[in-house]
Chain A
Amino acid sequence: MGEQQELVTITIDGREVSVPPGTLLWEAARQLDIEIPIYCYHPKMDPLGACRMCFVEVKGMPKPMTACTTTVTPNMVVSTDSPMVKKSRRGTLEFLLINHPLDCPICDKGGECDLQDFTLRHGPGGTRFDLYKRHYVKPIAVSDRVLLDRERCIACQRCVRFCQDVAMENGLVMMERGFKTEVGVEEDAPFDSIFSGNVVEMCPVGALTAKSYRFVTRPWELKRTASVCGQCSVGCNVLVDVRVNKVLRQYSRTNDSIDEGFLCDRGRWNTELVNSPQRLRTPLIRRNGALEPATWEEALQLVAQRLRAVASTHGASAIGGIGSTHTTNEEAYLFQKLLRAGLGTNNVDHFHGRFPAMERNGLPWVWTDSIAGLEKASHIVLLGTDTYNRQPIVDLRIRRAIRKGTRVYVVTPEPSRLDRLAAGTIRYNEGQTGAVSRALLSAVLSEPLTRGDFATKRAASVAALRDSLAHTNTEALAAFAGADATALRALAREIAQADGAVLLYDEMATRESTGETLAQDVLQLALLTDNFGRPGAGTGPLMEDNNSLGARDMGLLPDQLPGYRMLADGAALAQAWGMTLPDTAGMDYDAMLAGGVRALYVMGADPARHATPEQLAQLEALDLLVVQELFLTETAKRATVVLPAVAYMEKDGTFTNTERAVQVVRRAMQELPGARADWQILIGVANALGLGWRYGSPLEVLAEIGRLVPLYAGISRRGLGAEGVRWPFSAGESDATGKPTLVGSPHLTWTMVEHGVTGNGDGAEPALPRAHGEQG
C-alpha cells in the first residue's frame, strides 16, 4: 500500500520499527517502548539538542548522536545501550549533578524528577566532583504563583522556550551565559502571563515550582484522576491530584486536538474553589426569615411540597428553572427533564440565553470547524472576543497558527494581548460587534466580493440580501459602531481572498444590543466568501463556560428540546419519557426574572449577581426559590431552600466544549460530606415528587441521552475514550476488541448546519441562513 511504502524502517536495539520519514529517533524508539532520556526536548517544541542527555549510537557514526535531533534514515541501525551510549549519558548526568544541590529530600519535585529518575536508570553511582558548587539565593519568586530555584536549574531551556516561542508572552528568559547561565525575568516585563503555570509542569527538575504546592506533599501520596477542566469552554484535559480529599494541583493531560498538553493558570489553579472552607455542607431551609440547617430528607420534601403547591394554585407555567453552564450534560438533561416532564413546563433557560435559532433543527450558530483547524487557516478574524482571558488555550493555538504564518485580525472594542502579534486590529465602541460584523457583510455584498458555489447557486437570494442591506452600507454601519470603514473594507477583501478564513465571535457578543443578527451575519459572511466546510475555514462562537454548549445541547432552552428539536417534534421524547410535554414555548431567562413565575428552581447559576434592582425585587417576592449551589451565593442568600452541591472534581459526567467535543469528567475525590452531586439532588427532588426516577449513576443518564437526543445518538462513555469525541457522532470502525468506535465530525457541512443532524434538506435550493422569527 502506498502509505506503507512511505515509511522508513530502522533497527533499534535489534528490533525493527517503521515510521514516517522525518521522525526523530526519540519518537521511533518510543514506539518500541524504548525510553530515551530527555531534558531539553519537548514534543511540542522544535528540537534543541542542548542538554545532551538523549545520546544513542548510530552505526557508522563515530560520535554518539542525540536522538532528539536525529531523524530516521532507511536501514539505520541504532543502539540505545551500547558502551558508548552508557558512558555518554553517565557523563552528561555527572555534569548536570556537579552543580545540582542535594536537597532532594525537601524538593517538591522529588519522586517525579527526571534528574532523579534518569540518574537512577542511566547515571553514575557517585560523583567525582569534590570542588565548589555554584550557589544562588534559594527560591526567588518569578511571578505571583511561581518560584525559581536557580541552583536546581539544568538550563534545559524548556521554560524559556515555552514563554518565548509557544506563549509568545513576557516571561522567563535565559540570562548571562556559560556556567553563569540562569533563568530570569526582566523587571520591565513581568511574568504575568495566563500561561505561566505550564513552566512548572514542564520543568524536568525542581527548579520551577508552584507556590501553592510548596512543601505540601510527596507525589506518591497523590491520587491521580484523568478529567476535564471545569473553567472555560475550551475543555482542556487535566489530571486532578488529590490527597486525603483535598485537591492539591492539576496537571495537563495531553489532548492534541484541544490543549496540546498545556493549561491556563485559571484552570490549573482552580483548586481554591473545591477546597474552600466556605462550601455548603448541609441543606438550608428558610425558617422565620433565616436560613437554617436541615436534613436532606426535610429539604427535598419541602421542595417537592412547595413546587406542588405552586403548580396547583398557579399552574405549571408558574414554575421556572434556570440551569447551569457549569454542570454536566447529564445534569443539564435531568434538569430540563424535571421541569418539562416532571413539572410540565417549558420555562427552562440558562443565563446566556438562547441563540437566534432557525425554525428548523438547524445549528446556524455552531462552531463549524475545530480548535486544531485554526492552524490550517490562512486568516483568523476575531470579532468581539478576548481569547487570551476567556478561552486561553484557544488563544495559545491561535499563537501557534501565527507562527505558522496565519494572519490574525483582532476586531474588538478593547486592546488585547494578541494585538502585538496580529496582522491587524480594528477597534469599535463597546456593544457594537453586531454592527461591525454587518458592516463586513455589507462590504462583501456591495463590492461584490462573494465567491464560490454557495453564493453562485443562490444568486437571487444574494441579490435580495444586498438590496435589503443597501440602506445600511459599510460606511454607515462603521460610523455607527465607531470603527474605521476603510479598515473594515480592507479586511472584507482579505477574507474574500483567503485560502481559508475562520471567523470567530464571542458568545457574549450575541447578547449585545446589536448582537441579535451577529451569528447569522457572520455565517453568511463565511458562506458567501467560500470560507466554510473544510478544515481551516469556518465560523462560530467562542463559548463562555465549560459546559455552555452542553447546556444548550441538553435543552436548557425554553423553545427547543434536547438536541435542538423543536417543541413540535417532541412526540418521540414524550413517548420515551411516558409523559405529555407542554407544546408552547416557555419563558426565557429574562421573562422568568421579570415576575413571570412564582417558583424558581436555580441549579448552578447566580441570577442575583447579574440582576437589576427590579429583578432582585422579583426574586425576593417569589413564593419559592430553590438553589443548588456550592456556596451561599447572592441568589442562595435569598432562597427558600438551599441544596449543597459539589464541584466537577467530585462527580462523574460529561462536558461539551466550544468546538463540540464531548469529554468524560471523572470523580477525583469524595464529595464534601453533606453535599451531593447535582444529578443526585435532581433525582432526590424527582422522587420526592413521586416521579420514580431510577438512574443509578450518570452513566445511565448518558445512555438515555444516547437513545433520545439525536445530536448525541450512540454516545457512550466508553466510546468517548480518553480524549472525547466531537458531535455529531457516527459509529466508525471497530476497535481492537471488536466494539464499534465513535467517530465525531471535525467540521460541519452546510447541510448539517442548516438542517441539523437529523433533518434532511428538502431538495429545493436552500435559502440563506436567517435568524429566528425573521421573515426571509
Chain B
Amino acid sequence: MSETPGTTPANNSLPLGPTPRFLTRNFGVPGIDRIEVYRQHGGYESLAKALTQFEPDALVEEVKKSGLRGRGGAGFATGMKWGFLPKDNPKPRYLCVNADESEPGTFKDRVMIMEVCPHLLVEGTIISSFATKVHHAFIYVRGELPLAERQMARAVREAYDAGLLGKNILGSGFDLDITVHRGAGAYICGEESALLESLEGKRGYPRLKPPFPAVVGLYSSPTVINNVETIATVPAVVEHGADVYAAYGTEKSKGTRLYCLSGHVERPGNYELPLGVPLRTLIEDYGGGVRGGRQVKAVVPGGSSTPFLKPSQLDTPLDYESVAAAGSMLGSAGVIVLDDQTCIVGAVLRMTEFYRDESCGKCTPCREGTFWLVQLLERLEAGHGKESDIPLLADICDNIFGRSFCPLGDAATMSIVSSIKLFYNEYLHHVTAHGCLVGPRARGVAVGAGANV
C-alpha cells in the first residue's frame, strides 16, 4: 500500500504510520469471523483492558479525548453523546447499534464489519455498554442483510459461550446482554428515533425531538444510539489510547473512516483512510480513476443524501468541515462518482425515487413532495417537461427543506437542488431538445456554453 498522497510531511512521524488500519487490520485473516481466530489476533484484549484499567466514566472521557465522531451521518461527537445520559434516571439504560445501513452509496457496515469481522462490533458494543453503564444492548441489523445478521448472531453466541457476554464478564462484575434484532425493510429505520420505534415493534415513524434518545429513548429509557463503524472503532481507541487515535485526521475530524467508493471508478470498494484525505486521492490513487479514462462529472461525497460536488472541487479534503465548506456533507462517506457520460436528470430521478419510496409518509412535505418531484423529474427526463418545471422543482425542494419532520425530506432535496445549480443547462436541454445531453440517449445540441462546470 502506498503512502497517502496529500498527507503532510509531519504526518510521517505518526505513531502508526500514515495510513493506520484501526478497523481493518485483521480483515484479511482467514476465519477472522470466528472467535478463536479473532482472539488469536488480539481480539477482546481491548475489552479486557477497558474492564480492568478504566472506570466507566473515564472511558467516556477517553472516547471524548479521541475526538471520535459518529460515522452514521451527522458526525456528532460520540463521547459527548454518551455524556448526555442523565445521571439520576433510575430506569435501565440501553445501547442500540445502528446497523440499518441503507443509505445509497454506503456499504461499509455490512461488508467490512458485520460479515467479515463481527466480533469487532461485539467487542465494541461490550466496551461501549460498559462505558455508558448499559446492561442490555441491541444490534439493529437491516432486514435485507441476512448474512450480516447471522454473522452477528453467531458472534454474539460465541461471545456468550466464551464468557464475554452475560453475567460478570471476565470477572469484572459487569453484566451485559446483546440482542441481535433484524429489521424488515425500511430506510427510515436508520434514523435513530424511527429505529427505536421499530425496535419497540411499531411502524418506523421518527419521533419528535426533543426529548432526545439519550434522555427518553427505547422504552422511554435513556438510550445510546451509534453507528456500527462508530462502535467498532471504540476497541481501537482503547487499544491505542485516545492520543494515538487523535493523532490522525484533521483538527476537528479525528481518526480514520471507511470510505465507500462506488460508481464510475476503476476499483470501487472500501478504503480505510484518515479523515481529511483529499477526494482526488481517494478516486485516483485508490479507486484507480474514472472508469474507461473518462472525466469526472460530479461526485456525491457522503451518500445519496448529500449535495453533488463538481470536478473543480476534487481537492476537497474528506473531513466533516472541509466537505461542509465545499457545500456538501461527509455524511456516511459513501463517495459516488459520476462520469461525464451520465445524464444528470436520469441519475437525480433515480435518487429521488429512492426517497419517494422510502419516505415513511408521516409528514406532508416529504410524503407528497417526493411524489411530485418524481413525477416532474420523470417528465423532464423523458423530454416532455416544461421550462417552468425546473424552477418548480427547486421551489418544491424549498418547501420540503427545513419543513419536513425528519431529515429524510431534506435529504431528498439535496441532489435536486445541487444538480439544478450545477447543471441547469442540462435540465434545460431536456426541455428544449426533448432528450439527454450526454450518454446513450443523448439528443440534439447543447444549449449555451459552460453547461457543465
Is B264 in contact with chain A by the CB < 8 A criterion? no
Task: Bits for B302-340, please: 1 = Cβ < 8 Å to A, else 0.
Answer: 000000000000000000000000000000000000000
> Are A131 and B375 within 8 A (Cβ)?
yes
**CB closest chain-B residue, reference A49:** B208
> Are A178 and B405 within 8 A (Cβ)?
no
> Are B375 and A179 within 8 A (Cβ)?
no
A48 to B207, CA, bound (A): 8
Q: Which of A48, A55, A63, A94 has the most CB of B within 10 A?
A: A94
> Are B364 and A95 within 8 A (Cβ)?
yes
> Are B358 and A51 within 8 A (Cβ)?
no
Q: How many residues of B contact A (CB 8 A)?
A: 30
> Are B376 and A55 within 8 A (Cβ)?
no
> Are B358 and A96 within 8 A (Cβ)?
no
> Are A91 and B365 within 8 A (Cβ)?
yes
Is B240 in contact with chain A by the CB < 8 A criterion? no
A180 to B356, CA, bound (A): 10
User: What residues of chain B lie closer than 8 Å to A94, measured between beta carbons?
Assistant: 399
User: What residues of chain A lie closer than 8 Å to B367, measured between beta carbons?
Assistant: 95, 155, 178-179, 181
**Knowing A64-B402, A132-B375 touch, does A179 contact B360 (C-beta < 8 A)?**
no
User: What residues of chain A lie closer than 8 Å to B271, measured between beta carbons?
Assistant: none
Q: How distant is B376 from chain A, measured CB to nearest CB, in Å?
A: 7
Instruction: Choose from B356, B360, B363, B370 the contact partner of A51 (Cβ within 8 Å).
Output: B363
> Are A95 and B356 within 8 A (Cβ)?
no
Q: How many residues of A contact B (CB 8 A)?
A: 36
A88 to B361, CA, bound (A): 18
**CB closest chain-A residue, reference B367:** A179
**Knowing A63-B403, A91-B403, A95-B399 touch, does A177 contact B364 (C-beta < 8 A)?**
no
Is A69 in contact with chain B by the CB < 8 A criterion? yes
A98 to B356, CA, bound (A): 15
Is A105 in contact with chain B by the CB < 8 A criterion? no
**Knowing A47-B208, A177-B186, A179-B371 touch, does A53 contact B403 (C-beta < 8 A)?**
no
User: What residues of chain B lie closer than 8 Å to A177, measured between beta carbons?
Assistant: 186, 203, 359-361
Task: Bits for A23-52, please: 1 = Cβ < 8 Å to B, else 0.
Answer: 000000000000000000000000111111
Is A693 in contact with chain B by the CB < 8 A criterion? no
User: What residues of chain A lie closer than 8 Å to B405, measured between beta carbons?
Assistant: 49-50, 52
Is A174 in contact with chain B by the CB < 8 A criterion? yes
Is A215 in contact with chain B by the CB < 8 A criterion? no
**Knowing A131-B372, A174-B203 touch, does A96 contact B357 (C-beta < 8 A)?**
no
Q: How distant is A88 from chain B, measured CB to nearest CB, in Å?
A: 6
Is A618 in contact with chain B by the CB < 8 A criterion? no
Is B392 in contact with chain A by the CB < 8 A criterion? yes
A154 to B362, CA, bound (A): 10
User: What residues of chain A lie closer than 8 Å to B360, measured between beta carbons?
Assistant: 177-178
Q: How distant is A544 from chain B, measured CB to nearest CB, in Å?
A: 40
User: What residues of chain B lie closer than 8 Å to A128, measured between beta carbons?
Assistant: 392
> Are A51 and B399 within 8 A (Cβ)?
no
Instruction: Choose from B357, B362, B399 the contact partner of A50 (Cβ within 8 Å).
Output: B362
Is A129 in contact with chain B by the CB < 8 A criterion? yes
> Are B399 and A87 within 8 A (Cβ)?
yes
Is B404 in contact with chain A by the CB < 8 A criterion? yes
User: What residues of chain B lie closer than 8 Å to A64, measured between beta carbons?
Assistant: 402-403
Q: How distant is A181 from chain B, measured CB to nearest CB, in Å?
A: 4
Is B368 in contact with chain A by the CB < 8 A criterion? yes
> Are B376 and A131 within 8 A (Cβ)?
yes
> Are B371 and A50 within 8 A (Cβ)?
no
A179 to B369, CA, bound (A): 9
Is B379 in contact with chain A by the CB < 8 A criterion? yes
User: What residues of chain B lie closer than 8 Å to A180, measured between beta carbons?
Assistant: 361
**Knowing A99-B368, A131-B376 touch, does A181 contact B361 (C-beta < 8 A)?**
yes
User: What residues of chain B lie closer than 8 Å to A157, measured between beta carbons?
Assistant: 362
Chain A residues 135 to 181 lying within 8 A of chain B, measured CB to CB, are 154-155, 157, 174, 176-181
A179 to B361, CA, bound (A): 6
Q: Which of B358, B360, B361, B372 has the most CB of A within 10 A?
A: B361
> Are A178 and B357 within 8 A (Cβ)?
yes
Q: How distant is A136 from chain B, measured CB to nearest CB, in Å?
A: 14
Is A193 in contact with chain B by the CB < 8 A criterion? no
**CB closest chain-A residue, reference B204:** A177
User: What residues of chain B lie closer than 8 Å to A99, measured between beta carbons?
Assistant: 368, 371
Q: How distant is B210 from chain A, measured CB to nearest CB, in Å?
A: 10
User: What residues of chain A lie closer than 8 Å to B356, measured between beta carbons?
Assistant: 178-179
User: What residues of chain B lie closer than 8 Å to A131, measured between beta carbons?
Assistant: 372, 375-376, 379
> Are B208 and A52 within 8 A (Cβ)?
no
A174 to B400, CA, bound (A): 22
Task: Bits for B370-390, please: 1 = Cβ < 8 Å to A, else 0.
Answer: 111001100100000000000
> Are A179 and B370 within 8 A (Cβ)?
yes
A214 to B401, CA, bound (A): 39
> Are A92 and B403 within 8 A (Cβ)?
yes
User: What residues of chain B lie closer than 8 Å to A87, measured between beta carbons?
Assistant: 399
Instruction: Choose from B203, B379, B403 the contact partner of A55 (Cβ within 8 Å).
Output: B403
> Are A52 and B372 within 8 A (Cβ)?
no
**CB closest chain-B residue, reference A87:** B399
**CB closest chain-A residue, reference B392:** A128
> Are A53 and B364 within 8 A (Cβ)?
yes
> Are A63 and B365 within 8 A (Cβ)?
no
User: What residues of chain A lie closer than 8 Å to B372, measured between beta carbons?
Assistant: 95, 98, 129, 131
User: What residues of chain A lie closer than 8 Å to B404, measured between beta carbons?
Assistant: 52
> Are A98 and B402 within 8 A (Cβ)?
no
Task: Bits for B106-147, please: 1 = Cβ < 8 Å to A, else 0.
Answer: 000000000000000000000000000000000000000000
**Knowing A52-B404, A95-B399, A98-B371 touch, does A179 contact B359 (C-beta < 8 A)?**
yes
A154 to B392, CA, bound (A): 22
Is A62 in contact with chain B by the CB < 8 A criterion? yes
User: What residues of chain A lie closer than 8 Å to B379, measured between beta carbons?
Assistant: 131
> Are A91 and B362 within 8 A (Cβ)?
no
Task: Bits for B17-34, please: 1 = Cβ < 8 Å to A, else 0.
Answer: 000000000000000000
Chain A residues 85 to 110 lying within 8 A of chain B, measured CB to CB, are 87-88, 91-92, 94-96, 98-99
A48 to B405, CA, bound (A): 10
Instruction: Choose from B203, B362, B368 the contact partner of A95 (Cβ within 8 Å).
Output: B368
A residues engaging B (CB < 8 A)?
Answer: 47-53, 55, 62-64, 69, 87-88, 91-92, 94-96, 98-99, 128-129, 131-132, 134, 154-155, 157, 174, 176-181
A to B CB contacts below 8 Å, 6 in the list: A50-B362, A51-B364, A98-B372, A131-B379, A154-B364, A178-B360
